[in-house]
Structures are given as C-alpha cells and as structure tokens.
Structure 1
Amino acid sequence: MYGKIALVLAVLYILLNVLMLRWVYQKPKDQRTPDEEYMRATLKKLLVTRHAGSPGHKAVRDFLDKELMRFGYISSRDDFFHGINYSNVVGFLNDQAEQYLVLTCHYDGPSPRKGGEDFLISATDGAVSCAILLTLAKTSKIFAKALGQNLGLALVFFDGHESLATAPGNKPLLYGSKNFVNKNIISLERIALVLTLNLIGAPNQTFPSYSQNEDKNHNRIAEIEHKLRESGQLVDSHILFQEMRSYGNDLPDDHMPFKEYGIPFLHIAPEKYPNVHQTVTDKVENLHWPTILNMIKILRQFIPEYMESIDFINYGYFDFDDDVDEPTLPKEETNKW
C-alpha cells in the first residue's frame, strides 16, 4: 500500500519537474517594444563605415531620404562641395510654416585612421541619434496634430560633421551645419528652436543644460521625464535629465553655427565623449538600451508639447509666466565660416 503511494508520488514529482522544465524553456522571452524593434532594424542599416565618399555613406544617405518620405515628410537634399561632395538630408512637415522646430544630428562617420585597418561604425557617434530621429518621425501623425498653420517640423541629418581629414581626438569640422546656416536652407528668423542630438547610448549618461539659453526647455524635458518615470512609462534606469547646469562644458557639435547667430538651441549630448568614442568598440553590442528607449519616450512627449506651447513673441521658449528675453539675430547674415 505504502509502496504504491510512494510510486505515485515519485511519478507525480517527475511529471511536475518535466512540466516545470518545459515551461521554462517555452516561456516567451520579454517582448521588445515597437520602438526597440524599429531602432534595431534601423541600426542594421546605419552601422556601416560611412565616411564621406564611401559606399556606406551613400547607402545611409539614401536610406534616410526614403524613410522620411515613407513617414510622410517632404524630403530634400542640400548638396554642397568642400573638397569633396557632401549632402545634408532634410525632411519637412508643413514646409510653408512661419516657424520651425528643427531636430538635427549628423549621419556621417569618421574615416579609418591613416595606415590602419580600423573600420569605425560609430554607434553612439551619429548612428543612434539618426535612428532616434527616424523613430520619432515614424510617429509623425502625433506631431502633425500639434502643427497649426504657422508651425512646422524639420528633421536635418547633417553631413560633413567628420571630414576625411579628421583624426580621432580632433574637433569635428561641422561642414554640414555651417553650410545649412550660410545657405539659409530655412531662414534663420523662422527657426524657433534647434534641438541637436549626439553621442547617445553609452551607460550612465546624463544630459545637463549647457547655457542659460537652454535652461527653460531643458527644465521642461526634466519635468517630462519625471512625470513619465512616476507613471511607470519609462524603462527602469538612471535619470537622464536632471535640472543641472554645466555651463562651459558643451562639446563641439552641429548646434554651434546656429548658436553663433543667436538661434535658441537645445544640445542633448553628454558632457564627455563615451569611452568607446571613435574606436571599433562603438557598436550595437555595447549600447545601453534603457537610455535610448527612455530618450525616445521623453522626446516624443516634449516635441508636441513644445509646438503647442510655443510663444510666437518670444519664440524658442515655453510660454511660462516669467519674462524671457527675445533672441536677437544680427542685422546682416554674413558668411562667418
């Protein structure tokens, strides 16, 4: 009698263990969000050597152009020559607008070191920022609802950030953004705010405000992150936008030609170059995905809020109760570069 009970219990125990093992192996893996799925697919297209003049450079440029058109943007190219041929890629929502929110990054990569065989695909240095802007562009219907007759959205992917002569450690040359400003691709008086992304995707990054010009919009982004985090909408990770200042520590980037003309700007980049910067280790395997996914959610909230709240008298800033000095432009737009 006891032997039969023991046998039955042993069989049940074995069956239970088999079922548990089967459940473990068949348990579905954590589902990736649509943002992450698109980001990963997009990075596969972008993570190639893409210095100006290379086949990868042309392939990335054409991919950006096609994706913008696929998402309903009017896409155009700003071709220019600076020793070699370059081409900025520009996408518009409402190309007849009086004022534009301009989102920018650069898509070109550094050339291989002289005499070396290091082929740099530069994930944090341009590629992730491009993929973030395209991910945001994919939800353009959200932004279109916030666009009145007077407001437009422009996405600009700059070329010539890194030149063929740029070696690791040298400052970027910013050919694309300088050309964009000097040619008045968008009249400078019609730019409400330039938001520039770069060097995003390394672990433990934070993004401070680099000047008083940025403070109000930066604080607004910090508030948005706090609310999204409190409501459980962000991936569990460190805080990206604390209300902190780091004046004088701004890395050179494509917002600078706009800054020289007094255009309001918001530079979303870390204070220091990532450890992987311009090395072969700057690749998808070393990216910090919580930073990237949270950045997308925060910016997706900020962009329509900014466009709905813009003050056309003091353009470029949220219309808070306190006074904001109106940004001024030089009387003549001379070629400074």
Structure 2
Amino acid sequence: MASEPIQDSDDDRPHVEVNVETTNRPTPPPPAKISVIEEPADRLPKEWWKTAVAFLYALFNLFFTTVVITIVHERVPDKSVSPPLPDKFFDYVDRVPWAFTVTEVNGLILVGLWMVQWLFLEHKAIIGRRCFFLIGTLYMYRCVTMYITTLPVPGKHMVCAPKLYNDSTGKIWRILRLISGGEKLRIVLSMTGSHLMCGDFLYSGHTVMLTLSYLFIKEYSHRWMWWYHGICWLLSASGVICILIGHEHYSIDVVIAYFATTRVFWWYHTMANTHALRGVPNNYLSRTWWNPIFNFLERNVKTTVPIVFSCPVALPSFCRQRGGGGANRRKRRSHRKDYDN
C-alpha cells in the first residue's frame, strides 16, 4: 500500500490523500468444458432386408425340395419288388394307424406357438433370419440325402402316386401342386390314408420341424418359463416317437434328422453368441461352408440377443397416456421420498 500527500505550496486548496492499493486478484477459472456423451452405436440393428434375404433363401430350398421329391418319387422301387428294409424299431413295435396324425397335430401346435412367440419378441428381425437360414440349410441337406440314396417305402400301408416316367409336363404340374400346398399338407393325406408322393424318407422333414421349433422356443424364452419348455418338449418328443410308431419313416431317418438339426442349430448359435470366436484363426467352426453367409447375416450383431418381449402392434393413445401417467406418478413418489430423506 502506498500513501503520499499531493501538495502544492502555492495552492491553498485542501490536501487530498490518494491511497493506491496493489493486490493480486485471483485469476478467474477457465470455462468448464461441456462433456458430450456419445451415444453408443446400435449393437442390435434390425436390418429387415437381411431377414428378407434369409426368407428367400429358405423359400428357394423349400421349392427345391419339391423338385427333388418329384424326381426321387420316380426312382422309388415297387413294394412288390423291394419290401421295406429291416428296422429294429419296427421289429418290436407294431404300426399304429393314428400315430402319424398325432405327429402332424403336434407339429402344427409347435410351429404355431413359435410363430406367436416370434411376433412378440423385440428383436424379431435378427431371430427371424436365423430361423429362416436354418430351415433353408436343413432342407437343402435333406435334398442331398434324398437324392443320393433312395430308400424303399418303410411300410406296405403307403399308397404312392403313379409314376410319370417321361411325362415332363405332368411332373411340372405335380411340382406346382406341391408348391401350392395341395399335396404338401401331409396332415390331410395321413387322415385319408393317402401319401401320394414317396421317396422323401432320408431324412425326416417332420423331425426337423418338430425339433427346430422346440429349440427356437426354448432358446428365445426365459428360463423361468420351464413349464412352457416342458410342454413343448413333450409335444416334440411325442411327435417324433409317433413318426416311428406310425411306420412313416425308418429309424435312421429320424436319428439323422435329429442330429443334423441340433448340431446345425448349436453350431450357429455358438458362433452367434460367442463373439470372441469370430475372426479367430483356430476357430474350426468358421470352416463350415456357410460361414460367409453367417458373417453376412451376423456382421452387425455385436452382442448376444436379449430375450425381450413387446407388443407387436401399437397401443392406442389413451393406453400409452395411462401408462405414462402411472410412470410419472411413480417418479413423483420417488422424488418425494428423496426430498423427505
């Protein structure tokens, strides 16, 4: 602090003292930086167009199956020439005519349950393309096994449609009827006792659908729904057993179908749920022929798909308002508790 008088000898004005204080003022803090929280990238993109591609893949293989069935039907040996092959299950269990109807009904129930469950899943686009891809792949495998080895009919109760031999036009019409569903709905044919198309034995398509439906139902539902899993397992297991009780397939057809379905399902979901395996050189699962298709379908899926259910249709506006009002009331109650504390 400096204090000195300002004085002039010739001036009679009053003296004024000026105090000059020098202090170190604190430097103002720098402006705080605004931290911008970056939104995480979508780790589960829907990509419905990929689901459409997988659907077309499944549709093509189902169409190809009808073509192969028509071709194989012409090569099935006559029952009078080639009787059914010996089968251990058939040796101990006599045929029950209505058993295959149980298989058909169980299959329709399981497929219906899975479709309803799929509609209520939040990530139905990702799960749907997985389902379509597995259906298409398993039916493509079935086309190969049917074509390379044609088995005789497993029971003399089967009535096969007459062979067309060199009638190409008749074969085309038969394929179109199969595609339209007129002959493919085996539940109707089994009830009437007419099978028409023969030769599609190795391996069992019914076992594929019964097993695959159960696997998807169990994989994409909560563990606490054990009662639901148990019912679906009983439907699947009893349906597969009734295939054999009805003598509609050889035992080897069912066994191969079960192993093919479960292994392909487990391999795919192991690669889908274990992200550390992707791109690893010593991952032998990546040596499957369908690995490029897997990478295409799952490239942008960065985490395990959670099991979340949601309403497939938009709720009315008054329902949303009521639901939002309840949430707001709960928030106000929680804030009031925090304030009181």
TM-score past 0.5 threshold: no
TM-score with structure 2 setting the length: 0.29
Q: Report which of the two structures shows the higher radius of gyration computed on alpha carbons.
A: 2
More strand by share: 1
Choose between structure 1 and 2 for higher RCO, CA contacts under 8 A separated by at least 6 residues: 2
Q: TM-score, normalised by structure 1?
A: 0.29
